[in-house]
Amino acid sequence: MQPVGVGIRIAAGIVDLIIMMIIIFPLTFLAGQSMGLQLGLSLVGIAYFIVMEALKGQTIGKMALGIKVVKKDGSPISWQESIIRNILRIVDALPFLYLIGIILIAVTANKQRVGDMAAGTLVVKK
């Protein structure tokens, strides 16, 4: 079970971003610049990652790239672990464009970002 690096995780993230933009952009365009809508759409984005990873261990982007999220022992992650790792995306995204997350994946032995470390998860080749 080999943790995957930055490149493949960024590629999976780009696939997920494209999917979310296809869904979210038309809704934003139709509803205008409502702060409540923006918050709601952000929650939809976070929920996408939480639900997909809790149920399948993968988002659509991860499926496309052949990677998945597992516990350190290789078993499937729980809802709790999915919530922890995905809520902490906020920290990984600081100061911009996932800079902290990218640096941590590049320099940690198990290629973990803050959310992975807190949840005890790894992203590995499927």
pLDDT(23) > 90: no
The DSSP element (H or E) to which 22 belongs, if any, is helix 6-31
**Position 27 pLDDT exceeds 90:** no
Residue 107 reports pLDDT greater than 80? yes
Cβ-based neighbours of 122, under 8 Å, separated by 6 or more: 1, 3, 69, 70, 71, 72, 110, 111, 112, 116
Q: Between 7 and 21, whose confidence is greater?
A: 7
Give the three-class secondary structure for 69: strand
pLDDT(34) > 90: no
Structure token pair of residue 73? 């022992």
pLDDT value, residue 96: 82
In whole angstroms, what is the distance from residue 97 CA to residue 29 CA? 23
**Rounded to an integer, what distance in angstroms lies between the CA atom of residue 104 and that of residue 58?**
20
- Average pLDDT of the chain, as a whole number: 92
Task: For the full predicted model, state whether its pTM sits above 0.95.
Answer: no
Residue the block writes with tokens 């365009």: 29
**Band of residue 45 on the pLDDT scale cut at 50, 70, 90:** confident
Kindly report the number of other CB atoms within 10 A of residue 22's CB atom: 9
Q: Bridge-partner residues for 110, per DSSP?
A: none
- pLDDT of the residue at 31: 67
Distances (CA, A) of 84 to 19, 22, 30, 102, 119: 23, 26, 32, 18, 6
